[in-house]
C-alpha cells in the first residue's frame, strides 16, 4: 500500500489529523522535517490554531510525527521542528 493510501485508509486517524499529516509530508524537506508555525498551517489549511494543535497532538501520540522545539540564537522560541515518520 502506498504511503498516502495507508494514511487515507487509517480509521484511527481523524480527518483533521490526516489533513495536517499530508500537509507536513508535502512541506517536508528530504529528511522529513517541516518547521511551519501553527499559525501558518492554520491559515493555509483554513483550520483554527486549536484544531492544528489537537491534530498534531494526535499525530505525535500515534508516533506518526516527532516534535522538537527550536530556539533562536538569543534563546527565544521559534517554530517547532516536525519530523514525519
- The number of folded domains in the chain is 1
Confidence of residue 1 (pLDDT cuts 50, 70, 90): low
Q: Domain of 24: which CATH number?
A: 1.10.10.10
Q: Which domain holds residue 46?
A: 3-84
- Written as nine digits, the cell of 36 is 511551519
* 16-45-36-53 Cα dihedral, nearest 10 degrees: -40
pLDDT, tens digit, for every residue of 23-75?
999 999 988 888 888 999 999 999 999 999 999 999 999 999 988 766 677 76
Give me the residues paired with residue 66 across strands: 83
Amino acid at each position: 500500500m502506498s504511503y498516502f493510501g495507508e494514511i487515507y485508509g487509517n480509521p484511527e486517524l481523524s480527518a483533521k489529523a490526516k489533513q495536517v499529516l499530508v500537509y507536513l509530508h508535502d512541506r517536508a524537506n528530504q529528511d522529513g522535517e517541516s518547521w511551519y508555525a501553527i499559525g501558518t498551517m492554520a491559515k493555509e489549511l483554513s483550520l483554527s490554531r486549536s484544531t492544528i494543535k489537537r491534530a498534531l497532538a494526535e499525530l505525535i501520540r500515534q508516533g506518526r510525527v516527532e516534535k522538537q522545539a527550536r530556539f533562536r540564537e538569543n534563546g527565544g522560541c521559534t517554530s517547532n521542528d516536525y519530523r514525519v515518520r
